[in-house]
Chains A and B, each alone.
Chain A
Amino acid sequence: MEYKIELVNLSVYYGDFHALRNINMQIGAKTITALIGPSGCGKSTMLRTINRINELIDGTRIEGKILIDQKDIYHPKTDILQLRKKAGMVFQRPNCFPLSVYDNITYGPRVHGIKKKAELDEIVEKSLRATWLWDELKEKMKKSALSLSLEYQQRLCIARVLALGSEIILLDEPCSALDPITTLRIEELLVELKKDYTIIIVTHNMQQAARVSNYSGYMLMGELVEVNETSKIFTSPQDKRTEDYITGRFG
């Protein structure tokens, strides 16, 4: 089987701090993988390393490889802009630009050079439909995105990534600012999106990992302790540390 994303002996340092320790992981296409673990264990770092947004932090250093579609994304010849287009990120807090709904969604396509109104309109409709926002928002294209509810804003952020034409969606605790009901709706959306996209979600919420993901990885202090099918992780973890965490004895 060919994997969509492969992490090979991946280590990340922030200055002297060893944030990720020798991670090896394979992620298949059109699956949802959840990364769980206590705060500071490196889940977000791992996600941000795949989008290469982590490099913005001073003193970040990386060893090992990340392959997407068998290509090393840290190869010097990698087109970083194309990589970020392919693997889009959704952040913890809804972070729409202070622009209209329409301009938020078309931001990505525009920076990648799409200018034609008809083409942009089509992208907007497609990504809003995919995130179940079209019926609600089709009349409100010109409204400020910041006037929407947090849930809608977060869905808009997901739509913004879809509009890029991404193949991979990286979500960094996307529901931590949302209430339980809206969280469920985002989860349903993710399960629906899995049909077309490869999704990695970092979450603090173990029920969430159990509900949405096919595979789960448990991380602790920069190490990937265990990764397996979600049902197995939650019913018969192989590692004692994983078991302690998911049974609530630790973390």
Chain B
Amino acid sequence: MLKPIFWEQVMKKILFVGTAITVFILFFIIFYILKNGLAVVDMEFLLSSPKDFGRAGGIFPCIVGTIVLSLVAIIIATPLGVGTSIYLSEYTRESKLTSIIRFGTDCLAGIPSIIFGLFGFVLFVVYLGLGWSILSGGLTIAFMILPTIIRTSEEAIKSVPDYYREVSLSLGGTKWQTIVKVVLPSALPGIVTGIILGVARSIEETAIVIFTAGSVLRIPTSLFDSCRTMSVHFYILAREGISMENAYGTATILIITILLINAFAYWLMHRLMAKYS
């Protein structure tokens, strides 16, 4: 029979190899994209419009499209998501209903984005007549990222110690004052993390954008314009064999954007958490 200490050693090695593979894959992907993409990236690439369907020129409209679309999605999803999580954790008691709502949001989080895309297409683009537009796309993406924001905010709100609420109420504060002045500030780092995860997901989203915001290669001038995001641009360039170089270039900017957002999220979270402790 093998001794426990033997298994200790073996498991430690297996776990290390697993971790190493994960990190390797991550770095390999980033390295591969950057290696192929950095060559075409320069200020010209960032700030000029594509020519000849993207064979030449830059990706400026796609950058604008990505930013505007994510912004619309997050502006819609944040109040809805944070509001829902406040309602669930502060205004309801644990019951069948709340566990059904929670189960529902978890299921929603697992639905493939292309199905959200189809739903958004049917509802916003066709039925409500919004057409392929930033508004249709933003609304649909907002639905997709809602579960993420709800669950992370709810966890954050739940981790606020109960005695904060008790003290605030015992001093004659109302429930709402307690939420605004005590609960939300303490839960802020967690809530911000959820929102930023949502931003990252909306930036990388492709299927929904194709279904609901279209892929017009122009700088959008209103919420009812169609737009093309970097992910969609990359998909079309690669899929239709237009230009692999520019596809990699686009992917590079996309990855750098996501990295920057994550770095910003970490920075912001540490700042918020360090504020009073």
Measured between alpha carbons, how far is A89 from B93 in the docked complex, in Å? 25
Say which residue of B93, B164, B171, B277 sits within 8 Å of A88 (CB atoms). B171
A53 & B169 in contact (Cβ 8 Å cutoff): yes
Given contacts A58-B93, A107-B181, A146-B276, contact A97 B171 (CB under 8 A): no
Quick check: is B79 within 8 A (CB to CB) of the other chain?
no
Q: Which of B169, B172, B173, B276 has the most CB of A within 10 A?
A: B172
Within residues 164 to 192 of chain B, which ones have a CB less than 8 A from any CB in chain A?
164, 166-174, 177, 181-182, 185-186
Instruction: Name the residue on B nearest A88 (C-beta).
Output: B171
**Partner of A84 from B170, B177, B276 at Cβ < 8 Å:** B170
Q: Is B163 an interface residue (CB 8 A)?
A: yes
Whether the pair B172, A81 counts as a contact (CB closer than 8 A) is yes
**Alpha-carbon gap, A164 to B169, bound state (A):** 13
* Interface bits B72-92 vs A (CB < 8 Å: 1, else 0): 000000000000000000000
* Residue in B93, B163, B169, B182 with the greatest tally of chain A CB atoms within 10 Å: B169
Total A residues in contact with B, Cβ cutoff 8 Å: 28
Contact B163 A95 (CB under 8 A): yes
Listed residue (A51, A93, A100) with the most chain B CB atoms within 10 angstroms of its CB = A51
Closest partner residue, chain B, to A55 (CB atom): B169
Q: Which of B92-119 contact A (CB under 8 A)?
A: 93
> What is the distance, in angstroms, from B227's C-beta to the closest C-beta of chain A?
42
- Which of chain B's residues has its CB closest to A79's CB? B172
Given A53-B166, A91-B166, A144-B277: A161 in contact with B171 (beta carbons within 8 A)? yes
Nearest-neighbour CB distance to chain B for A207, whole angstroms, equals 27
Residue A56 CB within 8 A of the other chain: yes
Give the distance in Å from the alpha carbon of A112 to the alpha carbon of B168 in the complex. Answer: 11
Q: How far is the CA of A173 from the CA of B112 in the complex (A)?
A: 55
Contact of A91 among B163, B174, B186 (CB under 8 A): B163
Please give, as numbers and ranges, the residues of chain B lying within 8 Å of A98 by CB-CB distance: 185-186, 276-277
**Which residue on chain A has the smallest CB distance to residue B167?**
A95
- Interchain CB contact under 8 A, B168 and A111: yes
* B251-277 interface code vs A (CB 8 A; 1 in, 0 out): 000000000000000000000000011
A82 to B185: give the CA distance in the assembly, Å: 25
Considering the chains assembled together, what is the distance between the CA atoms of A221 and B136 in angstroms? 64
- Scoring B166, B167, B168 by chain A CB atoms within 10 A of each residue's CB, the highest score goes to B167
Residues of B within 8 Å of A107, CB to CB, are 168, 171, 173, 181
A99 within 8 A of B: yes
B167 touches A91 (CB 8 A): yes
Q: A144-B276, A146-B276 are in contact. Are A97 and B170 (CB under 8 A)?
A: no
Smallest beta-carbon distance A90→chain B, Å: 9
A97 and B185 alpha carbons, distance in the complex (Å): 11
Which residues in B have their C-beta under 8 angstroms from that of A155? none
Residue A85 CB within 8 A of the other chain? yes
B173 near A111 with CB under 8 A, answer yes
Query: CA of A91 to CA of B174 in the docked complex: distance in angstroms?
Result: 19
- Tell me the minimal C-beta distance from B19 to chain A in angstroms: 35
Residues of A within 8 A of B163 (CB): 91, 93, 95
Asked whether B172 lies within 8 Å of A164 as measured between CB atoms, the reply is yes
Contacts of A95 in B (CB 8 A): 163-164, 166-167
Q: A111-B181, A146-B276, A146-B277 are in contact. Are A97 and B172 (CB under 8 A)?
A: no
Q: Smallest CB-CB separation from A82: which chain B residue?
A: B172
Q: State which residues 178-221 of A face B: CB under 8 Å.
A: none
Report Cα–Cα, A93/B162, bound state, in Å: 13
With A58-B93, A98-B277 already in contact, the answer to whether A108 and B172 are too (CB < 8 A) is: yes
Give chain A interface residues in 73-113, CB to chain B under 8 Å: 81-85, 88-89, 91, 93, 95, 97-100, 107-108, 110-112
By the criterion CB–CB under 8 Å, are B171 and A164 in contact?
Answer: yes
A43 interface residue, CB < 8 Å from B?
no
Mask: chain A, 30-61; 1 = CB below 8 Å from B; 0 = not: 00000000000000000000010100101000
CB A60 to nearest CB in B, in angstroms, measures 14
A91 to B171, CA, bound (A): 12
Residue of A nearest to B163 (CB): A95
Q: What would 20 A/B residue contacts be, using CB atoms closer than 8 Å?
A: A51-B170, A53-B169, A81-B172, A81-B174, A84-B172, A85-B171, A88-B170, A88-B171, A89-B170, A91-B170, A95-B163, A97-B164, A98-B185, A99-B276, A100-B276, A108-B172, A111-B168, A111-B173, A112-B172, A160-B171
Contacts A97-B164, A98-B186 aside, 14 further interface pairs with beta carbons under 8 A come to A53-B170, A56-B169, A83-B172, A84-B170, A88-B171, A91-B167, A91-B170, A98-B276, A98-B277, A100-B276, A107-B171, A107-B181, A108-B172, A144-B277
Closest 4 pairs between A and B when the two form their complex, measured CB to CB = A84-B172, A111-B173, A85-B172, A144-B276
